[in-house]
Structure 1
Amino acid sequence: MSGRQKTVLAALLAVLLAALAAVLLWPDPPRRAAAPPPPHSASPSPSPSPTKTVPYPYFTPGTCFQVPRLSNVHEPTAVPCDQPHDAEAIANADLPDGLADLPAIFRTMTELCKAPTAQALQLRPDGPRHGTSVGLPLEFYRQGLRGITCALTFKA
């Protein structure tokens, strides 16, 4: 290899190393802080809520679903609203801390769902509907999960 070829090869290698260093060492663009989460509310909300990922059935308002005691399903199961369904979620609420057992959870769920149920029944006089709530198993409540679903069922 001639001296000129060595110089060209060395220059090419230097440019490649400089490009690699620039790619590896280039600073990341500044990241903006994430928007703060929406305010936490212990009262039911008649408007759609953000989707939660929880290990039990939880539906945002407007979601239609099948109910075990009314249909042949093992647990409440979401279905498209244009298909047969037993219930529609009308609100979400968060249970307070300090409930000691399942009866206390169910009583509190019923209480939290009373107002949104009454409001939804006034807006939908087109048939027999009953308020219900989708339960929160005690084991998950004890782990700090508090979200519940208030719903209207369409069957007695």
Structure 2
Amino acid sequence: MSGRQKAFLAGLVAALAVVAAVLLWPEPKRPAAAPPPPSPSPSPTPSPSPSKTYPYPFYPPGTCLLMPWMSEVKDSTVVPCDQPHDAETTANVVMPDGLADDRSINKALLELCAPSLRGVQKQQGGLDLYNNSPIVPLTKYYQQGYRDASCTVTVSNQQRDRKLTGPLR
């Protein structure tokens, strides 16, 4: 091997040693990144929201109730679904804008709640066993911008015993 080749080989070995040292050298320990600061305001949630408060009765689906027109209670009252009850909330809906009075609100809610009633009727095996009984907010609340409403199902008044005795779902 000539002197030139030895010098080239020595330079190559030195370069490889430098590259290996750089690649294998341990990184200095850095402090962990601080967590991001908390958000200044809560993130928006879609309506209807369980944390939103309403000036009228509003319940999540699956809530079982005693109703004033069917039981001796002053207001709709939540009860366990394994106890006799008058109604169960089957859906929450958002009413459209532009309704002017109680009649138009009632009509809109019956239409909006009809799909959940049909689902219960189909699931329970009887088309005439259940009624569509939405909880209707007063027109004054609708006019204040409240559009959320609860759809409930009750036992048809054609049935002898009008109480539900377990959850519908």
Calculate the TM-score normalised by the size of structure 1: 0.68
Residue pairs, 1:2-151, within 5 angstroms: 30-32=37-39, 34-38=42-46, 40=47, 50-125=50-125, 128-151=129-152
For residues 60 and 76 of structure 1, do their structure 2 counterparts lie closer, same or farther at Cα, with a shift above 3 Å needed?
A: same
Residues of 2 paired with 1:36 and 1:51: CA distance? Answer: 11
- Is the CA contact (8 Å cut-off) linking 1:51 and 1:60 kept in structure 2? no
Residue pair 2:117, 2:130 contacting (<8 A) in 1 also:
no
Distance 2:145 2:69 in 1: 27
Aligned length: 121
Q: CA RMSD in A?
A: 2.4
Q: C-alpha separation between the residues in 2 aligned to 1:91 and 1:152? A: 10
Separation in 2, partners of 1:69, 1:96: 27
Distance 1:91 1:141 in 2: 18
Mapped to 2, the partners of 1:116 and 1:106 lie a distance apart of 16
Percent identity of paired positions between Structure 1 and Structure 2: 39
The Cα of 1:128 is off from its aligned counterpart by: 2.5
Distance 1:51 1:37 in 2: 9
Counterpart Cα distance in 2 of 1:147 and 1:90: 14
Write the distance in 2 (CA, Å) between the matches of 1:36 and 1:144: 17
Please say if residues 86 and 155 of structure 1, whose CA atoms lie closer than 8 Å, have aligned partners that are also in contact.
no
In structure 2, distance between residues paired with 1:58 and 1:71: 19
SS at match of 2:55: coil
Distance 2:65 2:124 in 1: 18
Q: Does the residue aligned with 2:110 lie in a helix, a strand or coil?
A: helix
CA distance in 1, matches of 2:108, 2:63: 22
Give structure 2 stretches of 5+ with no counterpart.
1-35, 158-169
Deviation string for 1:12-58 (max 9, x for gaps)?
A: xxxxxxxxxxxxxxxxx7114744423x58xxxxxxx6353211111
Alpha-carbon separation, structure 2, partners of 1:70 and 1:51: 28
| 1:37 partner letter | T
Q: Write the deviation string for residues 49-87 of structure 1: whole angstroms up to 9, x where unpaired.
A: 635321111111000001111111122221111222100
- What amino acid maps onto 1:100 in structure 2? A
> In structure 2, what residue type is equivalent to 1:76?
S
